[in-house]
């Protein structure tokens, strides 16, 4: 209903708050998927390789800093629930018959481990219980239940206040709030496009919903641009796509993240794609 009256923007450069689904999708797009699916498939038919994603970019950064030093990340598929919420990434044994272990992925911002299956690679000679598949793909290293923990936390209102302070310092009168992100549409797109997002006016508090926008200048540096996180947590259950680009398999996963995260600087530009045509009339239910 809110997106019905949304408009395109020409350009935005400033602080951004990623909330709920968007916070989880931010970590999944930039971090989780880039320590999964390694090693890549081996085949004599090189034409098949074009249907798979390239080598995940963070696997070669073990013992290097990938996140701020106040963030730790671990994966524990043995947990069925968290704070009363069911975790669909739970499994007692992976699809290669290996019992999963609690895997410390990031400690104090430094990457310590990546996912591994029974297939030997230069970083691991043993599976850590993350060989996962469905009927459309072979077993490949993937996540189960990912937990993102932050020690630099604020109440949500204080988090918004920090974002406003950054905006004012940079001469801005609005801040960007992202509620949902899509899946990256190409191998060069690290972070999916905002599906639900709005600009929050600092003076009036008005929310101006935006459409057909694309994140620009996104790199793995963006992970280290997280300034604060909210003191409440959010459970995000979803289907994780496999390493195939088209018609690949999916497995059930969960990510537990701070409910909101503040990124110091995000660049948003107008999409060159034609926006979807809106209906002629708004939905009568939401108009009441």
Over residues 117-139, the mean pLDDT reads 89
Contact present, 224 and 204 (Cβ < 8 Å): no
- Give Cα separations from 125 to 36, 98, 116, 149, 216 (angstroms): 16, 14, 9, 28, 38
User: How many of the other CB atoms lie within 10 Å of CB of 177?
Assistant: 22
User: How many of the other CB atoms lie within 10 Å of CB of 6?
Assistant: 18
Contact present, 175 and 198 (Cβ < 8 Å): no
Does the pTM exceed 0.75?
Answer: yes
Tokens 């599906």 belong to residue: 195
Q: For residue 244, what pLDDT band results from cuts at 50, 70 and 90?
A: confident
Kindly tell me if the per-residue pLDDT of 261 is higher than 70.
Answer: yes
Q: Which residues of 245-283 are buried (b: 16+ CB within 10 A; e: fewer)?
A: eeebbebbbbbbbbbbbbbbebbbebeeeeeeeeeeeee
More confident position, 93 or 124: 93
pLDDT digits (tens, 9 = 90+) for 53-78: 666 889 999 999 999 999 999 999 99
Kindly tell me if the per-residue pLDDT of 246 is higher than 80.
Answer: no
In angstroms, how far is CA 249 from the centroid of its own chain?
A: 19
pLDDT, residue 184, reads: 84
User: How many of the other CB atoms lie within 10 Å of CB of 24?
Assistant: 28
Kindly tell me if the per-residue pLDDT of 248 is higher than 80.
Answer: no
pLDDT digits (tens, 9 = 90+) for 208-240: 999 888 999 899 999 999 999 999 999 999 999
Which residues are 153's β-sheet partners? 229
- Whole-number average pLDDT of the chain: 90
pLDDT, residue 39, reads: 86
pLDDT, residue 6, reads: 78
- Give Cα separations from 117 to 21, 77, 104, 263 (angstroms): 28, 14, 16, 33
pLDDT, residue 10, reads: 87
More confident position, 278 or 165: 165
pLDDT, residue 120, reads: 87
The sign of the torsion formed by the CA atoms of 49, 53, 54, 59 equals: negative
pLDDT, residue 42, reads: 72
Kindly tell me if the per-residue pLDDT of 14 is higher than 90.
Answer: yes
Over residues 151-174, the mean pLDDT reads 96
Q: Range with the lowest mean pLDDT among 89-98, 107-116, 266-275, 276-285? A: 276-285
Tokens 């320590």 belong to residue: 35
pLDDT, residue 52, reads: 64
129 three-state secondary structure: coil
Kindly tell me if the per-residue pLDDT of 276 is higher than 90.
Answer: no
Counting beta carbons within 10 angstroms of the beta carbon of residue 31, is it exposed (0 to 12), middle (13 to 18) or buried (19 or more)?
Answer: buried
Q: For residue 138, what pLDDT band results from cuts at 50, 70 and 90?
A: confident
pLDDT, residue 137, reads: 83
User: How many of the other CB atoms lie within 10 Å of CB of 38?
Assistant: 23
């Amino acid at each position: 209903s809110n997106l019905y009256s949304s408009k395109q923007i020409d350009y935005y450069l400033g602080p951004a708050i990623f909330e709920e689904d968007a916070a989880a999708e931010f970590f999944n797009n930039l971090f989780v998927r880039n320590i999964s699916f390694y090693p890549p498939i081996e085949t004599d038919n090189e034409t098949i390789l074009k249907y798979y994603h390239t080598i995940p970019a963070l696997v070669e950064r073990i013992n290097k800093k990938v996140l701020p030093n106040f963030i730790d990340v671990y994966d524990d598929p043995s947990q069925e629930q968290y704070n009363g919420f069911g975790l669909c990434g739970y499994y007692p044994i992976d699809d290669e018959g290996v019992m999963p272990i609690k895997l410390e992925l990031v400690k104090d911002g430094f990457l310590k481990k990546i996912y591994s299956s029974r297939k030997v690679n230069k970083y691991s000679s043993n599976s850590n219980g993350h060989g996962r598949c469905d009927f459309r793909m072979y077993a490949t290293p993937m996540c189960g239940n990912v937990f993102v923990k932050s020690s630099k936390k604020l109440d949500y209102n204080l988090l918004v206040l920090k974002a406003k302070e950054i905006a004012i310092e940079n001469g801005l009168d609005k801040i960007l709030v992202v509620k949902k992100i899509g899946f990256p549409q190409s191998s060069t797109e690290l972070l999916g496009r905002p599906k639900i997002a709005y600009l929050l006016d600092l003076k009036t508090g008005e929310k101006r919903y935006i459409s057909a926008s694309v994140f620009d200048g996104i790199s793995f540096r963006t992970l280290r641009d997280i300034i604060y996180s909210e003191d409440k947590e959010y459970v995000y259950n979803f289907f994780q796509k496999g390493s195939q680009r088209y018609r690949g398999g999916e497995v059930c996963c969960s990510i537990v993240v701070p409910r909101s995260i503040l990124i110091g600087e995000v660049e948003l530009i107008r999409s060159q794609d034609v926006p979807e045509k809106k209906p002629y009339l708004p939905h009568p239910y939401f108009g009441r």
